[in-house]
Amino acid sequence: MSPHGPVLPDGLTVEDLAFDKQGGLVPGVVQDLRTGQVLMVGYLDRAALRATLETGLATFHSRSRGTTWTKGETSGNTLTVERIEVDCDRDTLLLHCTPAGPTCHTGAVSCFSQQQPPAASFVTTLDEVVAQRRAELPTGSYTTSLFEAGVRRVAQKVGEEGVETALAAVVEDDAALLGEAADLVYHLLVLLRSRDLGLADVETVLRERHS
């Protein structure tokens, strides 16, 4: 997400979307950026979309109340919009979001309760564990000791593991290379979290480069 919120793709503006096809509204499908799970579907009018673009928080139009509302404005379970896709007819949005807590008003992760979320990769799971370690700093944890040592020490470890991975690729067998690569990935995740960043931020950069 940009510092000022997400942007529409391909240089599109709010007025380029086909709001008039559905009475001034377009559906917005909300998808968890990390897991790919569909969380909810809401409707946006021009004002709601502009608010979403300006604030970075998923904002919708309530058809029953006739007002604009931001998801989580009372519960705190907001949806930070990282990326927006527009379908080929420009009348439906796909909002890739990072949720802060459960999305459904029932307390469930998703409004589609029967949906099985895609299996997250273990690296994603590990990234979440590292983030939890930083928040809690449990005594006796190696990850805690790294965070307490500071960014410079963690950066040094990443450098060391990078060199060891490169050397293993040249002179060691596959098992050694995989072991060193695993150490490198782990320490890189710790380094990112020590700078308040995470795996999703790296994925965003890679996705932008790919497109």
Residue 115 has what pLDDT? 58
- The superfamily in CATH containing domain 9-99 is Phosphoribosyl-AMP cyclohydrolase (3.10.20.810)
Measured between alpha carbons, how far is 164 from 176 in angstroms, rounded to an integer?
10
CB 78, CB 100: distance < 8 Å: yes
Measured between alpha carbons, how far is 211 from 199 in angstroms, rounded to an integer?
18
pLDDT tens by residue, 90-149: 999 999 999 988 899 888 889 987 655 565 678 888 888 899 899 999 999 999 999 999
CATH number for 122-210 (one of 3.30.43.10, 3.40.605.10, 1.10.287.1080, 2.40.110.10): it is: 1.10.287.1080
The answer to whether residue 1 scores a pLDDT higher than 60 is no
Provide Rg for the chain, Cα atoms. Answer: 21
At position 32, the amino acid (one-letter code) is D
pLDDT tens by residue, 182-199: 999 999 999 999 999 988
Measured between alpha carbons, how far is 2 from 7 in angstroms, rounded to an integer?
8
Q: What is the pTM of this model?
A: 0.60
The answer to whether residue 181 scores a pLDDT higher than 50 is yes
The structural domains of the chain, with segments of one domain joined by +, span 9-99, 122-210
The answer to whether residue 2 scores a pLDDT higher than 50 is no
DSSP 15-48: GGS-GGGGTT-EEEEEEETTT--EEEEEEE-HHH
